[in-house]
Structure 1
Amino acid sequence: MAKNANKQNLLDDDTPMMQQYQSIKKEFPDAILFFRMGDFYEMFNEDAKDASKLLDIALTSRNKNKPNAIPMCGVPHHSANMYISRLVKSGKTIAICEQMEDPKQTKGLVRREVVRVITPGTVLDDNLLDPKSHHFLVSLYFGKEQTGLAALDMSTGLFKVTELPPSAENLLQDELAKLDPKEILIPENTANGNGAGPPALSGTGYFIQPVEDWMFHHSQAHRILVEQFKTKTLDGFGCEAWPAAVSAAGALVQYLKETQKSALQHITSLSTFSTQDSMMLDQSTINSLELVQSSDGQRKHSLLGHLDATCTPLGARRLREWILKPLIRLEAIEQRLDLVGHYREHLLERNDLRERLKHIFDLERLLGKISMATCTPRDLIALKNSLRALPEIQEMIGRCPLPAMSAIRDGWDNLDNLYQGIDEQIEDDPPLNIKDGGLIKPGCDQELDRLKSIMKDSNQAIANLEAREKERTGIPQLKVGYNKIYGYYLEVTKKNLDRVPDDYIRKQSLVNAERFISPELKQYESEITGAEEKVQIIEQRLFHEVRQSVAAEGARIQAMAKRIGELDALLGFAQIAHQQNYCRPQMDDGDALRIQNGRHPLVELIDPNQPFIPNDTHLDCDEHQVAIITGPNMAGKSTYLRQVALIVLMAQIGCFVPAEEAEIGLVDRIFSRVGAQDHLQKGQSTFMVEMNETANILNNATRRSLIVLDEIGRGTSTFDGISIAWAIVEFLQGPGHIGAKTLFATHYHELTELERLFHSVKNYNVQIKEWNDQIIFLRKIVPGGADKSYGIHVARLAGLPEQVLQRANEVLFNLENSEYDEVGTPKLAQPQPPETGPQQLGLFGEVPPPLIQMIKRLDLDDLTPRQALEKLYELRDLLKKS
């Protein structure tokens, strides 16, 4: 109580300006308030303490050395964006409080208001925006029947909604992973004590923003949306019957209206989407296939980085969407492939179009800044220069004879009226700041032209006045000068002061001269200064009129930006296909997957001096449903698995693929369980993560899915791992089970016995060559299973000491001869079980001698005469050794 009373006394004793600050701060208690004072934004109290640490700037104080000293710090307004960027990256919210009146024209306290609140999801500063990715603000409403999800990129106006089953936490997490939201809004009643949100968001690391529950009420949300879009219902957007999605979307728009203090003119529509509209990719698959970023977190070494040959940010963002949401409709895939094929073959057409696209700036984000009134005159010129390229592009794509081009060509809009409006009024090389003047062309406003003429003629007028005063006073050294503090003046040296006329009024004294003002000079000063102020006012008014006329056509600009982005992405595919010698995949509705000489699109580029070894693939849902791939570490099993998955994904985004030939039946989902990781924040070990991801695959895969699994079961004991892996393969194959096409890489060569039990399981191994106790990786996938893992050979390549390798070989020999059990206890020291008669050789019994293993695998009926002869020779050599 004493603390609050002391604070109130402090407030009562403060100046009117500090009282104004405290009043505004109460409205934004959770934000750092940037309080405009002249040329600086000042921060006080706790805001100043936080900002000074995060920005590494000096912390001073108001009323220093007094009991009521107030901590403060500040940043220059002209460089504020740099500081705001750093604070937003730290997860802070910034409230920008501006002076709403000219201090020169105001007596007393200047009126101040918060004009915008900047949060991690609402930034418009180019320094904080990745031009090649969307910057999504997401809103979630957890209803009883559905979870509503709304995502909006305020910088571009892209707005989309969906509904998900409330029990499908994994599905929600997968969608959020694709959106990569910078801020998530949730109702306050769903936030836990830490404001972290429901379990589906725990441990995700997203910036969670709880907002008032009333924003999510359906009636309120519906009203705010129809007001925003100027419609009576939401039927035209396809979400009238989606109450949870409407609640999430309406709360998002309400939040933006409160924080941005703007009409949000560029948010003109929203679209609905369903997780069933495209190939479903879970977060594990996105990460393990390195679709949008590599394992080291870089975009450059991901599939997205490799395929990005786009010329515009519009195309780059479109490409990212396509990779994360591959198509599942054959017709749409074929249309993209048709266009990629056309421009792959027509090199000159492709190059000409790409050259024109390079002149197009980011139309969507330019519109965002224009609509939010944060643009500069140069942003309007960037828009105009972009529009200049549209007629040429229209003419070029008009020559493409393919029906698939109609989706881009039909409804093409060159936005001529916007180009003319900007071209007629805004100077081609305007200043960066509208207050600097000189941004409106002559002929746009008569009064503006008259005032500019006065300013233009002022220099000559001042020169004429100086000449007349020299002649009138007889002072040849007299001169007329100007500075920002004193304005215009007449300067006379002290030795000529006796010649100064009576109508001169002393203005300033210097060491060797005196400065005066005369009635005539004062009149000139008044006219010139008045003209400058009036010019600035008129130019700002005309600039805002142009800006508003552009913002009013936001929907047309967005429609053209979408067409440009799609065209750019397709031309990028054609460029990559030409450069990397990719082939067009043959797509159909069947279940076959046949790839001839397929290559990994990224690995083949690592070392140009070492040729990549291509491999074939043959999978279907009947005879070749599960491929068991064995071989040593580093032989290339994981690369092969990823390469097959990436080829299928590339085909279904409409891209040519790295292979000589490819026949691909449509896939509804790709599941990839490749690589090891843990989720320590969720209390999950590597093995638990592995089992969670495997369970997700087994519970959600269909017959039309593609599954790639690598080393399932390696996180536990050997026998447990083998047992789990064996059971998984059984579950995947054959009638009555999933029946999905599956590549299963493993070190458990015992799993190769599955081929004998199931006709749909086929064994393959990565071919190697042993030479002088060394192994040479041939990188070729060949039929048949490996009978050992070569782990000690790989350990030698890694540089383990020779003593360790020798002892490992001894232990391995003992294990292979069953001298030890699975936990390492010598069997000779254990009591022997009583005789029970002959025992059948089984999967988990004693490991038989090499000769018996050879005889078990010997099946001459399925071999050609030459293969049978080779097997007999191999058996002869083994008998000699025995």
Structure 2
Amino acid sequence: MASYTPMIQQYLKIKAHYKDAFLFFRLGDFYEMFFDDAVKASKELEITLTSRDGGGADRIPMCGVPHHSAKGYIEQLVQKGYRVAICEQTEDPKQAKGVVKREVVQLITPGTIMETKVVEDNKNNFLTSISSFDNNSAFGLAISDLSTGETRVTLIHGRIDDVLQEIYALEAKEIVVDSDLKELIDKHMWDGVSITLSKENDTDIPEQFQSLVSSIKQQPLVIACGRLLQYLHKTQKRSLDHLQPFVLFETDQFMKIDYYSKRNLELTETVRSKGRKGSLLWLLDETVTAMGGRKLKQWLDQPLIHRGAIEKRFSIVETLLNEYFVRQELRDLLKDVYDLERLVGKVAFGNANARELLQLKKSLAQVPSIVKGLESLNNPYIRELMNTLDPCEDLKLILEQALQENPPISVTEGDLLKDGYNELLDKYRDASRNGKSWIAQLEKQEKEATGIKSLKVGYNRIFGYYIEVTRANLHLLSEGRYERKQTLANAERFITPELKEKEALILEAEEKSIQLEYELFQQIREQVKTYISRLQQLAKLISEIDVYQSFATLSEQRHYTRPCFSEGRELRIINGRHPVVEKVMGSQEYVPNDCMMSEGRELLLITGPNMSGKSTYMRQVALTAILAQIGCFVPADEAVLPIFNQVFTRIGAADDLISGQSTFMVEMLEAKHAIMKATQNSLILFDEIGRGTSTYDGMALAQAIIEYIHNNIGAKTLFSTHYHELTALEMDLPQLKNIHVSAVEENGQVVFLHKLQEGSADKSYGIHVAQLAGLPEQLIKRAEVILTQLEAEKSTESVQQVNELEEREVSVKEQPAQLSLFADSNVTNNDKFTTKQKKVIDLLLLQDIMAMTPLDAMTKLYELQKMLK
């Protein structure tokens, strides 16, 4: 250490406290990085790696970025999951004795970044903290979005996997834990999930945040909140007045949709492209404000399970649906409402500029008209909303009186405030403006006096004001008229005593004006801070109104209907549609389908060919339930639904290559999660479980899963399969019913009708699907030949077994008759059976049941049944 220069020693001392972050070390107009930071940053940011002498034996690796453009580089690093410590000069270099004092003023992390390029407008940027209790059997989970000030906390009983599932569903960007828990989470966190893991051992509530946790009584939750608040306090090192009091929520208050199901149902992003377009959120989002977009996503992440709260949302949506002109007026007004939540965050942080305060003023100007529009609607819930809307008229008046209509982005260059706002500021401005008028008049006079039309009076920061004359016109100047100041290649610059006197007056007025204006602007920003809680409440209500009008707009456009909730367990959907597929199809006609599941009809076994629409049908049932429980109308002619507490899915086949798991392992993990967590009030969707392994293994597992759900869980379940043998379960499981997607064959081509019918499918049409996919004709014909051979072999095997039975019957007849202890002990002697039926029954009697697997037995039973048919 001692061998390094004082500046490098200072760098190393500061870096020792931020080992897991890039240290942006301010040197003049640049942020510099040294040693390993420089090597890594040069690769990540694609900037030049250089070196410098730092006093040691070797030159030190170094790279840097200009301070005025550092924001973009910081965003790049944070987006990649890194942390960036901003180290500023805290004293004037001119007054420094030795090395300029420096200290870290902020630590920017994925969960604390405020910049809108990284933080999406319609998406929360969640930071979470976890604290464990009772030997890691219970966990406190605290959640915050620093950009909006939202905070929440909950207690989760279970394993660390259950907590991580909740965090994955939130799409959180960062988790804060203590040293012990960090190791445990490292082991359980999924590979490929982009979440930054940070450490904070201190859980004491900082004094300035005591009020935020006053309503939280459970000590484990207070500890989780303390960890999160300590982390924010230490990393941000500034005012966080916009943080809202922690809201306690129970995960059981909402429908649980785990990470798997959220992905499989494509609620917020598509499986294939990972993009928003094509997801349910994309379809639903008719909001016109950023706040409304975030609120919509929150509602979609947490559907309600309390009927009264859902019916309240239905009532508001229905009123807005019926009042087209009021709804359109509201939409137009909301378009001029900016992101109040994040504007308030910037005000609290102290980095809101004049343009952003102007956006706040324009937003507040819309509130009275929004209230007036709501007044015309006859709905008690809307009236309740309207009565709590606070237009903050006094704040709007302050901003209206103070701010220019078109202020600059910078707050340190003046021209922010209106004339007349401050008397002293007006005096400085008058002096500056009059001085500049005098300068303009001087230029005009000198042009006339000298006859030099190209003469001009200019200004630069080094020399101040000057008179410039081109070299070609110098002979027109009389001796001694001006004092020479600077010589250029093609001109000379001059000054006069009077010009320098005016310059002093102008520059002094400008400097004082800009300084005073900045101080006044800071005072205005501090005034706005006192309105933070009122503005946050206003933002909450406006975002809700925006979501309600979005639901109403969508429901009108797509012809959705208001669902009802059944008192028992009835599920009845008439002409239901998949909302996203229907929209994507556009002008093509979507084939609707019913779904009927009464109390005695809990499990539907769905068969049918590939591409016939089984998966779409299953998804549309789940999406209909989710839409209903977020308070939106649903794509159906009629819908009666139970209220589900959880939705579980296993749909689609995709290897998890990142974590090295096969399709079949992913299937089993998702199936296990559903089976272990589901209750009678859950909805389960299983699509072709077992297809990732051998036929017999897959069929055995599928049957076992069906039986377990039927006998042990009793949840509403849709189970699609290509194992037609499973349809025989309808005879043994009273609550299971077979349905199938119909298809017809015309001229050797299969036509999918996409219509669900009772009963089971008799063919899979696999070769026809391959033909539709465009496989070579030669390959298709060969497959047909092989299929014919396999079917013939199977048929021949059954015939051989029957022949063997007949031969055995002949042999038995030739033997002496044997007395029977009981009448009609041999069922084949019963006259009510035909000869063919007797043969099948006797064939059944010959089977060695105890030597067969359950799957072999089921397969043989299916063959015998086909022989009888």
Match status 1:262 vs 2:238: yes
CA distance in 2, matches of 1:104, 1:436: 23
Residues 188 and 210 of structure 1 are in contact (CA less than 8 Å); yes or no, is this contact kept in structure 2? no
Residues 676 and 686 of structure 1 are in contact (CA less than 8 Å); yes or no, is this contact kept in structure 2? yes
Match of 2:834?
A: none
- Secondary structure of 1:758's match? coil
Match status 1:547 vs 2:515: no
Match status 1:531 vs 2:509: yes
Q: Which amino acid aligns with 1:568?
A: D
Q: Which amino acid aligns with 1:127?
A: K
Match of 2:5?
A: 11
Matches within 5 A, 1:689-704: 689-704=666-681
Q: 1:168 aligns with which of 130, 151, 159?
A: 159
Match of 2:750?
A: 775
How far has the Cα of 1:356 moved from its partner?
A: 0.5
How far has the Cα of 1:774 moved from its partner?
A: 1.9
CA distance in 1, matches of 2:454, 2:739: 100
- Which digits, 9 at most, give the CA deviation of each residue in 1:208-260, with x for residues without a partner? 333242x13xxx1xx32x631447xx442xx221x232222211111111111
Alignment coverage as a number of residue pairs: 820
Match of 1:41?
A: 31
How far has the Cα of 1:182 moved from its partner?
A: 1.1
Match of 1:307?
A: 284
Q: 1:178 aligns with which of 169, 172, 189?
A: 169
How far has the Cα of 1:850 moved from its partner?
A: 10
Match of 1:484?
A: 461
Residues 563 and 628 of structure 2 are in contact (CA less than 8 Å); yes or no, is this contact kept in structure 1? yes
Match of 1:508?
A: 486
How far has the Cα of 1:22 moved from its partner?
A: 4.7
Matches within 5 A, 1:47-66: 47-62=37-52
Matches within 5 A, 1:146-295: 146-165=138-157, 167-192=158-183, 197-203=185-191, 205-213=193-201, 215-216=202-203, 220=204, 223-224=205-206, 227-230=208-211, 234-236=213-215, 239-241=216-218, 243-295=219-271
CA distance in 2, matches of 1:588, 1:534: 72
CA distance in 2, matches of 1:660, 1:747: 30
CA distance in 1, matches of 2:12, 2:503: 41
Q: Which amino acid aligns with 1:179?
A: L
Residues 281 and 297 of structure 2 are in contact (CA less than 8 Å); yes or no, is this contact kept in structure 1? yes
- Secondary structure of 2:299's match? helix
Q: 1:721 aligns with which of 691, 698, 720?
A: 698
Change (3 A) 1:49 1:431: same
- Which digits, 9 at most, give the CA deviation of each residue in 1:780-837, with x for residues without a partner? 1001111232222212222333444344334434444554999xxx999xx99x9796
How far has the Cα of 1:477 moved from its partner?
A: 9.0
CA distance in 2, matches of 1:474, 1:852: 118
Matches within 5 A, 1:555-566: 555-566=533-544
State TM-score, norm by structure 1: 0.86
Change (3 A) 1:601 1:303: same
Change (3 A) 1:107 1:700: closer
How far has the Cα of 1:399 moved from its partner?
A: 1.8
How far has the Cα of 1:38 moved from its partner?
A: 4.2
- Which digits, 9 at most, give the CA deviation of each residue in 1:443-484, with x for residues without a partner? 222221111111101122234556788999999997643222
Q: Which moved more, 1:716-725 or 1:315-324?
A: 716-725
Match of 1:581?
A: 559
Match of 1:754?
A: 729
- Secondary structure of 1:413's match? coil
How far has the Cα of 1:724 moved from its partner?
A: 1.9
Change (3 A) 1:276 1:489: same
CA distance in 1, matches of 2:784, 2:467: 101
- Which digits, 9 at most, give the CA deviation of each residue in 1:68-127, with x for residues without a partner? 644433333332222221121222222223344566788986554432221111111111
Q: Which amino acid aligns with 2:575?
A: N
Change (3 A) 1:466 1:692: closer
How far has the Cα of 1:417 moved from its partner?
A: 1.7
Residues 229 and 269 of structure 1 are in contact (CA less than 8 Å); yes or no, is this contact kept in structure 2? no
Match of 1:387?
A: 364
Q: Which amino acid aligns with 1:287?
A: R
Matches within 5 A, 1:351-750: 351-463=328-440, 480-491=457-468, 495=475, 499-500=479-480, 506-510=484-488, 514-622=492-600, 624-733=601-710, 737-750=712-725
How far has the Cα of 1:725 moved from its partner?
A: 1.7
Q: Which amino acid aligns with 1:227?
A: Q
Q: Which amino acid aligns with 1:209?
A: L
How far has the Cα of 1:650 moved from its partner?
A: 0.7
Residues 678 and 686 of structure 1 are in contact (CA less than 8 Å); yes or no, is this contact kept in structure 2? yes
- In structure 2, list runs of 5 or more residues that go unmatched: 810-841, 850-854
Q: Which amino acid aligns with 2:209?
A: Q
CA distance in 2, matches of 1:320, 1:789: 39
- Which digits, 9 at most, give the CA deviation of each residue in 1:495-548, with x for residues without a partner? 4787226xx765333456654444433332222222222122111111111112
Q: Which moved more, 1:363-372 or 1:25-34?
A: 25-34
- Secondary structure of 1:602's match? helix
Q: Which moved more, 1:375-384 or 1:714-723?
A: 714-723
Match of 2:816?
A: none
Q: Which amino acid aligns with 1:88?
A: V
Residues 395 and 528 of structure 2 are in contact (CA less than 8 Å); yes or no, is this contact kept in structure 1? yes
- In structure 1, list runs of 5 or more residues that go unmatched: 1-6, 858-882
CA distance in 2, matches of 1:138, 1:388: 35
Residues 35 and 97 of structure 1 are in contact (CA less than 8 Å); yes or no, is this contact kept in structure 2? yes
Superposed CA RMSD in Å reads 3.2
How far has the Cα of 1:37 moved from its partner?
A: 4.0
Match of 1:133?
A: 123
Change (3 A) 1:772 1:61: same
How far has the Cα of 1:32 moved from its partner?
A: 2.3
How far has the Cα of 1:669 moved from its partner?
A: 1.4
CA distance in 2, matches of 1:851, 1:31: 67
Q: Which moved more, 1:487-496 or 1:638-647?
A: 487-496
- Secondary structure of 1:766's match? strand
Match status 1:812 vs 2:806: no
Residues 589 and 666 of structure 1 are in contact (CA less than 8 Å); yes or no, is this contact kept in structure 2? no
CA distance in 2, matches of 1:467, 1:779: 85
CA distance in 1, matches of 2:462, 2:57: 36
- Secondary structure of 1:507's match? strand
CA distance in 2, matches of 1:838, 1:798: 42
Match of 1:114?
A: 104
- Secondary structure of 2:432's match? helix
CA distance in 2, matches of 1:849, 1:172: 46
- Which digits, 9 at most, give the CA deviation of each residue in 1:260-295, with x for residues without a partner? 111201003111111101111111111111111111
CA distance in 2, matches of 1:644, 1:512: 81
Change (3 A) 1:107 1:382: farther
Q: Which amino acid aligns with 1:387?
A: L
